Structures are given as structure tokens and as C-alpha cells.
């Protein structure tokens, strides 16, 4: 079975990518979308495949 080109090399670099991603601030990752978030208090369903960070404190 062949891997799609989009995942080529991912297994070898996954640990470094996770470390890099976990050091990003919420504002740097989600800043452009904050205006779409409902005002608190609110229920929000976050569906994604990423690590739990960065998340709003």
C-alpha cells in the first residue's frame, strides 16, 4: 500500500511538529477566527484532529 504524498515524511517528523505546535499561542493560531466565537457563556463543540493545545485558557 502506498502513502498519499500529503503524508510523506510525516511519521519521521511528527514528534518535532507536535513540539512546535504546542508552543504556539491561542491568539496566533485562532486569532483571525475569534470574531466568529460566541460570547460567553456558550457551548462550543470543537471537532479537530490536532493536539489539545493551543486552547484558550
Per-residue confidence (pLDDT) for residue 11, from 0 to 100:
83
Q: Within 13 Å and on the Cβ side, how many CA atoms surround 6? A: 0
Q: Read off the pLDDT of each residue in 9-32 and give the average, rounded to a whole number.
A: 83
25-40 pLDDT, tens digit each = 878 888 898 898 889 8
Per-residue confidence (pLDDT) for residue 27, from 0 to 100:
83
Q: Residue 57's closest CA among 21, 27, 32, 12? A: 27
Mean pLDDT of the chain: 78
Q: How far is CA 26 from CA 10, 23, 32, in A?
A: 24, 10, 10
Amino acid at each position: 500500500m502506498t502513502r498519499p504524498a500529503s503524508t510523506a515524511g510525516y511519521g519521521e517528523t511528527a514528534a518535532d511538529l507536535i513540539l512546535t505546535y504546542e508552543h504556539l499561542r491561542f491568539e496566533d493560531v485562532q486569532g483571525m477566527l475569534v470574531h466568529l466565537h460566541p460570547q460567553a457563556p456558550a457551548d462550543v463543540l470543537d471537532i479537530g484532529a490536532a493536539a489539545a493545545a493551543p486552547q484558550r485558557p
